[in-house]
């Protein structure tokens, strides 16, 4: 069964494929599905934005579609960048500069107050009237400097158990990450749904 992911981000696509292909889905990117929509993500929550993206791509291609909206919520910054993570400090600002900007904002924040959470909300549209939604949260802290060569986005500055997301292997990251948690919930709910129909 084909499942279109509402993204052209290759890093996100890898994470979706790692978790959803083993239960029988052929996971396609928007580009592979021939979809060229870019809906305005104007929701107030991660769940709102995931739903907006998933429904837009579903309407464009008619295939089951899944979307994720995720971001970094930093305690000392009153939850910023939050739902604006992708556009924080300017939509076209290189990610390295965004990470540096956050570290600058956090320069005088002591270790015990550097708490942060990565949040992922996922919406899977199977039909116009059947949506499966999940949320995953990973708690950690903001590091003192970027670490690691892997990952993407804010991964180099987000620390969990002494390592940044960028220092973790794909399997290690999936086991603890916000998106990994949300995707495993989705995996279980889709597996149960399709097993029940056999």
Using an 8 Å Cβ cutoff, are 60 and 28 in contact?
no
pTM of the model as a whole:
0.88
Q: Is 78 a catalytic residue?
A: no
Query: One digit per residue, pLDDT tens: the chain, 198 residues?
Result: 899 999 888 888 988 898 889 888 899 999 999 998 988 889 999 999 999 999 999 999 999 999 999 999 999 999 999 999 988 999 899 999 999 999 999 999 999 999 999 999 999 999 989 999 999 999 999 999 999 998 889 999 999 999 999 999 988 888 899 998 999 999 899 888 777 665
> What ranges do the domains of the chain cover?
2-196
Fold of the domain spanning 2-196: Maf protein (3.90.950)
3-state secondary structure 31-55: CCCCCCCCCCCCCCCHHHHHHHHHH
- Separation CA 71–CA 116 (nearest Å): 11
For residue 183, give the H/E element and its range: helix 178-196
**Which residue is catalytic, options 69, 78, 129, 155?**
69
């Amino acid at each position: 069964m084909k499942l279109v992911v509402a993204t052209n981000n290759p890093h996100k696509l890898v994470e979706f494929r790692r978790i959803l292909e083993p239960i029988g889905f052929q996971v396609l990117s928007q580009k592979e599905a021939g979809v060229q929509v870019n809906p305005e993500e104007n929701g107030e929550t991660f769940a709102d934005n995931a739903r907006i993206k998933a429904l837009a791509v579903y309407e464009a291609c008619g295939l089951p579609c899944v979307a994720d909206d995720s971001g970094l919520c930093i305690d000392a910054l009153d939850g910023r960048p939050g739902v604006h993570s992708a556009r924080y400090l300017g939509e076209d600002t290189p990610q390295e500069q965004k990470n540096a900007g956050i570290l600058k904002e956090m320069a005088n924040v002591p270790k015990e107050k550097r708490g942060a959470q990565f949040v992922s909300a996922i919406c899977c549209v199977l039909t116009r009237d059947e949506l499966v939604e999940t949320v995953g949260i990973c708690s950690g802290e903001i590091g003192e400097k970027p670490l690691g060569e892997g990952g993407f986005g804010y991964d180099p500055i987000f620390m969990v158990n002494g390592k940044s997301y960028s220092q973790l292997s794909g399997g290690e990251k999936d086991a603890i990450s916000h998106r990994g948690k949300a995707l495993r919930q989705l995996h279980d709910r889709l597996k149960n749904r399709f097993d029940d129909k056999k």
